[in-house]
């Protein structure tokens, strides 16, 4: 997420920021989700590329727009295994990022409650129910989307683990056959 993009978003939503300072955190959370979503989409494409090259997926799921260079590279077993393992490492990191995202989604309402209590203690009027509900719903919606993305990562990791096992086994069989 770029600071410029966040500044543009804040400039486009000044009323939200005047209502409550936590809207800034909500906007950051939402923009981080969008960034994470683009990254996870790239990882999904990598898994799909692997399944396409190994022909271990249905015809309808196979990647149609894979470059010839990518296809040729992935048909080399050593390069394919390296690509699989690097993709797996990124997916594992994605799991960690999504755990953080979920924790942030749980943390934000707690901060909202603490800030509202502090505002009340200082004689500052609390956020209206309508606006508080809208803020909580926005944070909750982003948290739910992060949960769905974490579920998608789990699916991709399981699919990729299956691919790694098959390709590693085929490689071992190939090496044994060559040594005989």
* Model confidence pLDDT, tens digit, residues 52-66: 888 887 777 776 788
Concatenated DSSP letters of the chain = --HHHHHHHHHH-HHHHHH-THHHHHHHHHHHHHHHHHHHHHHHHHHHHHHHHHT-S-GGGS-SS--HHHHHHHTSHHHHHHHHHHHHHHHHHHHHHHHHHHHHHHHHHHHHHHHHHHHHHTTPPPPPHHHHHHHHHHHHHHHHHHHHHHHHHHHHHHHHHHHHHHHHHHHHHHHHHHH-
pLDDT in tens, 115-142: 889 989 999 888 889 989 999 999 999 9
Percent of the chain topping pLDDT 70:
93
Spatial distance between the Cα atoms of 166 and 54, rounded to a whole number of angstroms: 9
pTM over 0.75: yes
Q: What is the pLDDT of residue 177?
A: 59
> Is a pLDDT exceeding 60 seen at residue 84?
yes
């Amino acid at each position: 997420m770029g600071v410029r993009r966040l500044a543009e978003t804040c400039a486009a939503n000044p009323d939200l920021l005047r209502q409550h300072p936590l809207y800034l955190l909500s906007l950051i959370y939402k923009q981080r989700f969008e960034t994470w979503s683009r990254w996870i989409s790239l990882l999904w494409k990598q898994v799909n590329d692997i399944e396409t090259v190994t022909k271990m997926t249905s015809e309808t799921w196979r990647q149609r727009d894979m470059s010839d260079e990518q296809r040729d590279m992935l048909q080399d077993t050593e390069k394919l295994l390296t690509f699989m393992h690097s993709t797996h490492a990124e997916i594992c990191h994605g799991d960690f990022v999504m755990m953080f995202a979920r924790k942030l989604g749980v943390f934000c309402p707690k901060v909202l409650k603490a800030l509202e209590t502090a505002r009340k203690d200082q004689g500052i009027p609390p956020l209206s129910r309508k606006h508080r509900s809208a803020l909580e719903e926005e944070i909750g919606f982003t948290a739910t989307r992060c949960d769905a993305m974490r579920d998608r990562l789990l699916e991709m990791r399981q699919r990729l683990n299956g691919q790694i096992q098959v390709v590693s086994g085929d490689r071992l069989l190939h090496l044994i056959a060559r040594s005989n």
